[in-house]
Structure 1
Amino acid sequence: MNATVLTGNRLFPMIGAMIENQLSRAYLESLSTEELLAVADKIGLDIPLDLNRTFIIQEILDAHAELLNVESYDLQEESADTFERKKNKPSSAIYNSTYIDVLLRDPVWAFVFWHIREQDRRTYEASHDFNGYFLRVSSCVAGKTPEGESFNIDVDIQDGSWYICFPAPQGWFTVELFVKKGRQHILLATSRPFRIPRTVRFSPLELEQHPLGPVLLLSGIEQMRIVYAKEYSPGQYSGCN
């Protein structure tokens, strides 16, 4: 992993804070993104360079907690009481913002994740004309504003992430998060533009003939919740459960 090399007067305090068990969210938030990547590299984390800094901080804190053999951050292993306490006191850095982001974790699909500011979410969902949320996948040119071609994906109010298979083997895309209120569609967040690699093919109809077909089938792809576009036309997609 490539990371910016820091001078001693910046790097040593970081390491000192870690050694003294004083690595905190407030301290990490005071660092630049390059310095966060350097800290992540120092403790052995492989962080994508384009990952949102909020998640870089969380990854560092989780790894640091494991190194110190302290409380696990896996909510599935926590008691119901502990989970309720954490839910009632969420991290302000994450829960006080609305965002959507995309990670190209695999050459066949992208991982889309988002969060809606808690106060805004409560307001939307308490409204009498609230009708849910949806994602809009749009084509764009070289990282610019979306063009007219797009398709929508309805998501559940509990959802915070989806795997999406894109309809074209190459090109630039954005993913937008909307709330539906009556007949209105209100834009909440837009991902950064991202490019699908030229060599990737996404058609599920050609999965058996795809060079990676056998590997994909063994990976359990058919059991994952992935959205495929039949053709790149607005609104045409199907789910794969």
Structure 2
Amino acid sequence: MIRTVQLRPVHLLAADLRWTSGSTRANSPSVSYQLGDPGRPSPEPTITIVIADDSGSVIGPAGADPVSNRYEEASRAFRAIGRRGGKHELGAVLHFDTPTSGDVPPTPLTRAGLQRLRSGLHVPHDAAGASYLGASLNAATALAKHYRNHEATLVVLSDFELFDDNVDQVLDDLADFPGDVHAIVLGGTQLDGLLDERVQITKAAHTDAPGTVARAIFTSLVAHRPGSRPI
């Protein structure tokens, strides 16, 4: 059964995706934002799976995130948890082109596991730039079912300009994921009812403030952690 994650409006400010295709991490403007208190490790086992879209409409010069800022902000969210994470709290990273060299299997959200998780937060060198969600969604669902004793959360970073042969079925499967589902819509794409109401949506438009992708992922990561206080 899907449990919709309820986010307060302050958590739905989108990430700063305003840099041009010529920007790099070295010359991108420095930004500062707070995520909040991650609280204490969850009393029950958890698994948070992040799926990233590396298609041309996202990473291209005119794409939603040409300098991969989504990965920088995802890394920031994972780091915030890793400082106080438990071995029974797992994170995983998948890409639309799965299997890829950037996929990271379920890994404890601890200081030791953080480096491995961060190794998947980039555009894989063997990514084909597919706009297909189906394969990675199937992989995420298989992980959630394998870790059936864990509270599962799926976070999808995409502009949702999908080219799956059966888009309607794929989106139905997304809503049927065995856990919480959070879609972070890069570029502020107008979905017009495309996603089921069971899917929590955060829009990240070009004009929005820095830190929202990080805050949205952070909020999903701390959903089961007592004492957590996302900003």
Q: Does TM, scored on the shorter chain, surpass 0.5?
A: no
- The normalised TM-score by structure 1 is 0.27
Q: Which has the larger helix fraction?
A: 1
Q: Which has the larger radius of gyration?
A: 1
Tell which has more relative contact order, 1 or 2 (C-alpha 8 A, sep 6+). Answer: 2
Q: Which has the larger strand fraction?
A: 1
- The normalised TM-score by structure 2 is 0.28
